[in-house]
Structure 1
Amino acid sequence: MLTVGGYARVSDIGQMGDGRDGREGVMRQREDVHALAKVKRCDVHRVYEDNDTSAYRRRVKRRDFEAMMIDLASGVINGILASNIDRLFRQPRDLERCIDIYEQARRPMIFATTAGDFDLTSPEGRFQARIHVTIANKFSADAARRVARQKRAEAVQGMPHKGQRAFGWKDAEHVDDREAELLRIARKDILQGKKVATVHEEWTKLRVRSPQTPPGKTIGYSSVRYVLRNPRLCGYRAYIPQEVRERSGRVDPVEWLVERTDGTPVMGQWEKIFTPDEWRELIDVLDARKNTGKGRKIGSTVIKRLLTGIARCAKCGNGLSSGMYTRGTTSYEKYGYYYYCRRADGGCGSLSRSGPPVEDHVEKILLGNLKKRARQVKPTAEEDPELTKAKADLKQIEADKAEARQLRADDKLSLAEFAREISRLERKERETGEKVSALSAAPVRAGSAAARIIREWGRYTVDVKREEIVKSIEAVVIKPAGKGGAQNGEFRADLVEIVWK
């Protein structure tokens, strides 16, 4: 009596809310396997079962099917029983794998279904099996096209995605308050300079999970990037064809927006988390950090030290790296890490300085500079030549308009000429007025931004602080301490020079 393996599979568990979980179909197939085993007088070692699993999609891994192939090749089982051959194979390459095992086995084997047997060791049997699998593949391809056409039509209508919820929503339409707040905070922080890697670290500490996160895990870095780029956040509908997903895996949803005939994005029928302008602003910042073509992605890693690359050696001008003091030493207990000129990076290798005192000094000087800026008052017109000229231009435009009206009253300008001239002057007046407003408000905005930075500095992460530092500081030059070094380990501010932009 041959020991065989049975196989049962259903492609999906049914639509959301229809009350089916696929078990009914699987149980019928299991009954067919055991009934067939009695007819063939075989002993069923195990029924391998893949519930809610496609045999057509290329990227889908069928766990029990793969286990069955291993047992078949190793001799644990000597054949396969199934209700139908299309339960086993929808892709010809899977059938060919099975045929290879049967051809090389050199032992009695069986391949049977309720619709008939297939002798995979003979040319005729392989031919019949290949015909059946080719037909099954064609049926699956036709069904896939129909489903794709329906999903595309739903996308054009702005209907929400079916199935698993998206991060930020508790269902297809309604926002999840906790996840939405995480996204809003992340957007604000990223615009201020925080890296996606830092956001990922913070979410990991909070034990954040996406709907796709495996049990026992936290959300991955690539998932954080994906959810931040999701057009759904601002209501835009995206549609990524299934064949694209299977060929490329996770793709950028920004590139797959559904548009109307006039080129505008289709808006979806669900609650929004961002406005379109807020989402576009976030995407622009993320795109600006993409790979430049050399080395690793910009912004893809977390820089742990505040002045890495900003601090420079006064002797050779090389950017300083950071390192940790040896554990157990006094320096490690007091400072933890240091900056040094690294020979491997092209530096002289003859300078190092404890990190925290230098960083504290630079932060203190920068915040003092920002406080002065925050107290800055709006200059008078005499102090700003460009503003003075813009205001003078406004007065001249008003005079030109008065002259044009007088010329028209004296019948020296035709109605058409007068209309064109007034239109030109009014357009110029609007543009100049906007310029005056911008120049007048610039110092106020600068002071307001500085006050905000001072107020929020304590909660900034290292990368956000670095973003603000490089806006004002060109470099922090560290000078050698000389033969005597620092007395009693005291920090010497005279050995640190800040080069302002």
Structure 2
Amino acid sequence: MEVKVPGGNLHTVGGYARISDIGQLGDGRDGREGVLRQREDIYDLSKVKRCNVHRIYEDNDTSAFKRKVTRKEFEAMMTDLAAGVISGILAYNIDRLFRQPRDLERCIDIYEQARRPMIFATTAGDFDLTTSEGRFQARIYVTIANKFSADAARRVARQKKADALEGKPHRGQAPFGWKDAENLDPREAELLEVARKDIMRGKKVATVHREWAELNVRGRQTPEGKTISYTSVKYVLRNPRTCGYRSYIPQEVREHSGRVDPVEWLVERTDGTPITGQWEKLWTPTQWRDLVDVLDAHKKKNPGKGRKTGSTVTKRLMTNIARCGLCGTGLNSGMYTRGTKSYENYGYYYYCRVPDGGCGKIARSGPPVEDYVEKILLGHLKKQAAAVTPAKEENPELDKAKKKLKQVEDDKVEARRLRANDELSLGEFAREIRRLEEKERELKETVSQLSNTPVRASSAAARILREWGRYTVDMKRTEIMKSIEAVVVKPAGKGGNQQGFRPELIEIVWK
């Protein structure tokens, strides 16, 4: 709304009001109150300068120093200035407008190229941006403002690092899973816990994302009208905060790299042990580490960011588990032609693909094969659940692997002690820790495999039987592959496909 000053018809200007984000100020000031005071000063200034105020462009709680921050109202004002909608700018102070010299230079370009009278005034003084002297003065003030902001940012960064070393929680926006800095949010915490358990049992992050989207789950920075993104789901699952570990990512790293992996920014003591924070924890450190290991394993199998273009969230249940009985190639899936009886009855089928190196001579309707394999597997699990598990089974290989794992853990503690006593250089320490962590991952995988061989404990089988109905395709595939080496589909012979499903042509190879 334009405000006209009696007798003031020389210039129609834009007023600009801004307060930096509260998080950087850290003094509890209400940004809205600050811009309201600035608006009053701008209207008073317009009376002195006898200008008509086209409107006030207001950026509340917005930094002019951070390079990646977009000031929407500032950009709108610059557009109006260049288009001739306004012929000048009024502000409380020049540092409300500019904290980066590049923003000032954009404004100077407009003033230099304008072919109309222009004004640039603040309550602290005027700057004639059409003259070299006025530009020189403005540049000095903005350079000083930039230096002031840089110094303030360093002080804030030092304080945040000190808080992190003391385990104090970050006081900004509450992370996903918490309703504030210390207390868990019951609904979000439950979502995270269910997701962790499901991923440990084979569910993919893409499936978790799809389920959360269907539940209309939103992150703290999710745009209005959208649901939480795939990358945000991965981020909150990997967040060390869930197990109480404190991380600290410097602001300059965030600004240059965007969202980074918090796992790589744990705050540690001199002995290498992580700092524990002062807030409610969701998981134990072991549970969090195990989840991160599984997520890292998924990333190695499917390198790159996010899902592959054109890939589906889940595969068919028997893809590459079912194998051709003639050439041994893993079977792929395809859809029957719409409108056919096969499509109405079954929808899809498994077949041996020539491009995959197969013979192309085996094809079988999908659902009957899957139903048969599920029935056999569940029967196998029922026998395990009913079996009496010995109190302790002798397994020399498992005992050996556990001893090696214990030794690696002891070696890590020793390496951290040597580093704390300056008996290891930083480079030697980093190389040794990387070597030990890689060995630790390999041994954990070996222990896990040996613990589940040759059959799983009866309690695990009982749990799978209870939960099988809610398992997703990828979770079922994981359980199938723990017990079954392959499902061999044998040729039906001439006219064999017309005889309905024949279980004798399906051979299950157990591990």
Distance 2:453 2:505 in 1: 35
Aligned counterpart for 2:55 among listed residues 46, 54, 79: 46
Could you tell me which residue of structure 1 aligns to residue 367 of structure 2? 356
Could you tell me which residue of structure 1 aligns to residue 39 of structure 2? 30
The within-5 A match list for 1:4-403 is 4-13=13-22, 20-291=29-300, 302-315=313-326, 317-342=328-353, 345=356, 347=358, 351-376=362-387
Give the SS at the match of 1:8. strand
Give the SS at the match of 2:176. coil
Could you tell me which residue of structure 1 aligns to residue 506 of structure 2? 496
Amino acid at match of 1:455: R
Query: How far off its partner does 1:190 sit?
Result: 1.0
Q: Deviations over 1:91-117 (max 9, x none)?
A: 112222222333334443332222233
Distance 1:74 1:329 in 2: 63
Query: How far off its partner does 1:301 sit?
Result: 6.0
Q: 1:188 to 1:444 in 2, by over 3 A?
A: same
Distance 1:301 1:205 in 2: 17
Distance 1:453 1:484 in 2: 39
Amino acid at match of 2:506: V
Unaligned 5+ runs, structure 2: 1-9, 401-449
Distance 2:469 2:365 in 1: 22
Give the SS at the match of 2:99. coil
Q: Deviations over 1:203-262 (max 9, x none)?
A: 222222233333333222212111111111111111111111111111111111111222
Q: 1:21 to 1:352 in 2, by over 3 A?
A: farther
> Quick check: 1:458 aligned with 2:476?
no
Give the SS at the match of 1:290. helix
Query: How far off its partner does 1:73 sit?
Result: 2.3
Unaligned 5+ runs, structure 1: 391-438
Query: How far off its partner does 1:161 sit?
Result: 1.3
Amino acid at match of 1:323: G
Distance 2:253 2:324 in 1: 50
Query: How far off its partner does 1:385 sit?
Result: 10
Give the SS at the match of 2:468. helix
CA contact under 8 A between 1:302 and 1:463: conserved in structure 2?
Answer: no
Give the SS at the match of 1:218. coil
Q: Which moved more, 1:48-57 or 1:102-111?
A: 102-111
| TM-score (norm. length: structure 1) | 0.80
Give the SS at the match of 1:339. strand
CA contact under 8 A between 1:292 and 1:298: conserved in structure 2?
Answer: no
Query: How far off its partner does 1:317 sit?
Result: 4.3
Q: Which moved more, 1:262-271 or 1:74-83?
A: 74-83
CA contact under 8 A between 1:324 and 1:338: conserved in structure 2?
Answer: yes
Q: Deviations over 1:42-90 (max 9, x none)?
A: 3222211000000011111111111112222222222222121111111
Distance 2:122 2:294 in 1: 58
Q: Which moved more, 1:1-10 or 1:345-354?
A: 345-354
Q: 1:133 to 1:317 in 2, by over 3 A?
A: farther
Give the SS at the match of 1:7. strand
CA contact under 8 A between 2:389 and 2:458: conserved in structure 1?
Answer: no
> Quick check: 1:469 aligned with 2:466?
no
Distance 2:132 2:488 in 1: 79
Query: How far off its partner does 1:141 sit?
Result: 0.5
Query: How far off its partner does 1:477 sit?
Result: 3.3
Q: What is the RMSD computed on CA atoms of the aligned residues?
A: 3.3
- The number of residue pairs the alignment matches comes to 449
Could you tell me which residue of structure 2 aligns to residue 423 of structure 1? none
Amino acid at match of 1:492: R
Q: 1:100 to 1:315 in 2, by over 3 A?
A: farther
Distance 2:323 2:451 in 1: 38
The within-5 A match list for 1:432-443 is none
CA contact under 8 A between 1:197 and 1:302: conserved in structure 2?
Answer: yes
Give the SS at the match of 2:40. helix
| TM-score (norm. length: structure 2) | 0.79
Give the SS at the match of 1:137. helix
Amino acid at match of 1:220: S
Q: 1:119 to 1:340 in 2, by over 3 A?
A: farther
CA contact under 8 A between 2:384 and 2:456: conserved in structure 1?
Answer: no
Q: 1:47 to 1:375 in 2, by over 3 A?
A: same
Q: 1:442 to 1:305 in 2, by over 3 A?
A: closer
Give the SS at the match of 1:171. coil
